[in-house]
Amino acid sequence: MRKQTTGTIMKHLLRGAFLLVPLFLVTHVIPRALGHRDISKKRLVDAEAPWVWQNPLPQGNDLRGASFVDANTGTAAGYYGTIVRTTDGGSSWTIQTSGTTQNLWAVSFTDTNNGTAVGEGGTILRTTDGGGFWVSQASGTIVQFRGVSFTDENNGTTVGEGGTILRTTNGGNTWVPQSSGTANTLFGVSFTDANNGTAVGGTIGQSEILRTTDGGQHWVSQPNPGTQFLFDVSFTDANNRTAVGDQGTILRTTDGGNTWVPQLSGTTKTLYGVSFADANTGTICGFELGGTGIILRTTDGGNNWVEQTSYSLPQGASAFYAVSFTDANTGTVVGDAGIILQTTNGGGQWNSQPSVTFNYLYGVSFTDANTGTAVGYENPDGMILRTTDGGSTWIRQSSGLINTFSGINFYGVHFNSANTGTIVGEEGIIIRTTDGGNNWVQQTSGTTDYLYGVHFTDENNGTVVGFLNGTILRTTDGGNHWVQQTSGTTDGLFGVYFTDANNGTVVGNSGLILRTTDGGQNWIPQSSGTTNQLRAVSFTDTNTGTVVGGDFGVSTILRTSDGGQTWVSQQNPGSDVLLGVSFTDGSDGTAVGQAGTILRTTDGGQNWVRQESGTNRDLYSLSFTDANAGTAVGGYGAILRTIESEPTPSPTPTPTATPTATPGGITLSASGYRVRGMHTVDLSWTGATSANVDIFRDGSLVATVSNSGTYTDSIGVRGGNVRYTYKVCEAGTQTCSNEVTVRFGGPPL
């Protein structure tokens, strides 16, 4: 429905500038920590684990679309295939299984049961039971859909990149392309009935408004005075319509679009969503470049727009992307990091969900299944969160430090008992508590380095590492005195782990591993066999340890069983940099990293299995207290918890038909997996020579994709003895592969 424009991206960059500049200095991979990576990529998830959101609530992926059918029943959709649903006016929300990890940009419901969500990669999802089951529909394209509008359960229109318009008159069983007459991206669409609709979009210097009165058989471009991208449009009857866009643009028509008149918004912020309850009463939402969100309200058809500010949100996210009102008083706004604001009095008061922060969290440390501390960025005093109930509630603690200019980044935390812990951060910050965080005392580090890693073996003996000049600091008296040790390197250091007061390992840039057996009096380089950045380390005894890191497109995992004399690279299904690792014994370990990556092993790393995190947020740190209870933290305040992390058995390919050569020379193979109760099939083929290929399931075209040799199909059904038959053809031709059947349940084929 709405595109992430350059303005949107710059907004995120500016908002995170103070927070992440130090991390940007550390390594070339950290810019992706800003959240600006390709998150439309499909991934095959190899195992399911019950990782649940503890913050933000009800979840932390961006929400880009919202649709309410009455005061109680509504659905929001967003990044990473996120769909959330409420049936009690927002008092509680349920995360639904969409069957995709594609970003969803828009959603439209016509009643409590029938709804459609659209997004990237040509994704169209349909439900007829209020989201209990979402079924993927064949769009016949891979463009990114930005808007969707249904007027009843059968008639709907979706719009997107390159002027794409698709129309259905049978609830999405078939989608038919329509001629828009433009190559400009269309971001929003709204219909009042099956025939009358408006689509909006644009390009640099030009607003695009299209109008149809015959269900899209003909789309006519309407002259308008706009010079900015238009992102959304709303109208309550055939005549009265309002469109919104960049630079505070509001355009209004009262004659069906024959004339469009600019209205004064009083802002230059990007206006992203609009919803009118009647011809006069409407609400607009949006955001400011590098600043805060905005909500505007009119009760006179837009002659006057008044900003509403009666809401309170934690730091870290404030962009609003979509708004849905069911009457003049009852409405919902959604946005960054899963923000949900709701009002029952026309915006006189907006109420939010109970999240504690949207800022980045970089470190977490638990001493038992219930007691833990997470740290990160906050202005002015840094973020410290404490739980004593396993994360059901997180309470903010004061660091006692103040930086009103740019706030404070805490990068690492370690507790060696429930009460005694140490936090490290930017500009050489070290703070210490002996009463569970009720009071934090700053210690003298003797450095202004960015300190990233900290580890204590008892209340007295601890080591801290940092970015500048290979910094290693050591204390033997609980931090009353910190002594700089000679590391022998100027490389940045990120991770540190000691198994006792003498034996420890440090990791850092360029594949660096340092080892000490005398409490750091001497640090000896070890051969890692890689030049990739190494970010974290975990040992379970003096000899047995694991190091993780990576580089662009590569997850690095190294393992030693002889105290680091030899490090062996372990194969793993990751493709992103790993940023944290935690082992509770020689066998059970978990690693986390960029793009929501969670990898799990129960055999010391001989096999690593991907677990579904439910997000693409970068995850920076994790802490397990036993093989089952663990917490991971990351971008935009993400806190994920599992208390049952034993992975399902490594997935076994479902029996398939033996591939045979075909006249087309394309050979197809497939394997099936059960992911979150959904059916997921991994296809791979060789021999196709065209730029694109058509994917057929049970004789129907489900996707046209680039000829990459792989494709993952997720089917929105659960359980049962089900089989699917696939073939791959060169796009638009009869040059096809063999057919392969994948069965879920029942006896082998």
Tokens of 247: 């630079």
Given a cut of 90, whether residue 657 has pLDDT beyond it is no
Helices (H) and strands (E) in the chain, counts: 2, 63
Mean pLDDT of the chain: 89
Over the stretch 170-182, which tens digit does the pLDDT of each residue have?
Answer: 999 999 999 999 9
Over the stretch 609-640, which tens digit does the pLDDT of each residue have?
Answer: 999 999 999 999 999 999 999 999 999 999 99
Helix (H, G, I), strand (E, B) or coil at 7: helix
Kindly state the average pLDDT of the residues 170-199.
97
Please, which pLDDT band fits residue 291 given cuts at 50, 70 and 90? confident
Given a cut of 70, whether residue 717 has pLDDT beyond it is no
The pLDDT assigned to 41 comes to: 31
Kindly state the average pLDDT of the residues 32-49.
32
Question: Lowest mean pLDDT: which of 24-33, 158-167, 502-511, 617-626?
Answer: 24-33
Given a cut of 60, whether residue 203 has pLDDT beyond it is yes
What span, in angstroms and rounded, lies between the C-alpha atoms of 573 and 579? Answer: 15
Give the number of other Cβ atoms within 10 Å of residue 382's Cβ.
Answer: 28
Kindly state the average pLDDT of the residues 141-147.
97
Contact 223, 197 (CB under 8 A): no
Over the stretch 588-616, which tens digit does the pLDDT of each residue have?
Answer: 999 999 999 999 999 999 999 999 999 99
The pLDDT assigned to 653 comes to: 40
Given a cut of 90, whether residue 15 has pLDDT beyond it is no
Residue 653 gets which letter from DSSP?
Answer: P
What span, in angstroms and rounded, lies between the C-alpha atoms of 256 and 252? Answer: 10
The pLDDT assigned to 671 comes to: 81
- Between 314 and 190, name the one with better pLDDT: 190
Buried b (16+ CB within 10 A) or exposed e, 97-120: bbbbbbbbbbbbbbebebbbbbbb
Kindly state the average pLDDT of the residues 347-358.
95
The pLDDT assigned to 644 comes to: 62
Of 115, 83, 108, 114, the residue nearest 97 (C-alpha) = 83
Strands laid side by side in the 700-706 sheet: 700-706, 692-697, 722-730, 740-744
What span, in angstroms and rounded, lies between the C-alpha atoms of 127 and 571? Answer: 39
Over the stretch 434-457, which tens digit does the pLDDT of each residue have?
Answer: 999 999 999 999 999 999 999 999
Please, which pLDDT band fits residue 262 given cuts at 50, 70 and 90? very high
The pLDDT assigned to 716 comes to: 54
Q: Alpha carbon of 452 to those of 8, 188, 214, 505: distances in Å?
A: 30, 44, 62, 14
Kindly state the average pLDDT of the residues 214-235.
97
Percent of the chain with pLDDT over 70: 88
What span, in angstroms and rounded, lies between the C-alpha atoms of 643 and 625? Answer: 10
Over the stretch 679-713, which tens digit does the pLDDT of each residue have?
Answer: 778 899 999 999 999 999 888 888 888 899 999 88
The pLDDT assigned to 674 comes to: 59
Please, which pLDDT band fits residue 14 given cuts at 50, 70 and 90? very low
The pLDDT assigned to 742 comes to: 82
pTM of the predicted protein model: 0.82
The pLDDT assigned to 675 comes to: 52
The pLDDT assigned to 665 comes to: 86
Given a cut of 50, whether residue 47 has pLDDT beyond it is no
The pLDDT assigned to 536 comes to: 99
Phi, psi for residue 644 in degrees, rounded to 5: -150, 55
Helix (H, G, I), strand (E, B) or coil at 489: coil
The pLDDT assigned to 678 comes to: 56
Kindly state the average pLDDT of the residues 297-302.
98
Given a cut of 50, whether residue 527 has pLDDT beyond it is yes
**In the block, which residue shows the tokens 């709204």?**
190
Please, which pLDDT band fits residue 38 given cuts at 50, 70 and 90? very low
Strands 545-551 and 533-539: antiparallel
**Domain architecture of the chain: domains with CATH:** 60-352 (2.130.10.10), 361-642 (2.130.10.10), 667-744 (2.60.40.10)
Please, which pLDDT band fits residue 722 given cuts at 50, 70 and 90? low
Residue 204 gets which letter from DSSP?
Answer: T
What span, in angstroms and rounded, lies between the C-alpha atoms of 221 and 209? Answer: 6
- Between 724 and 457, name the one with better pLDDT: 457
Given a cut of 80, whether residue 4 has pLDDT beyond it is no
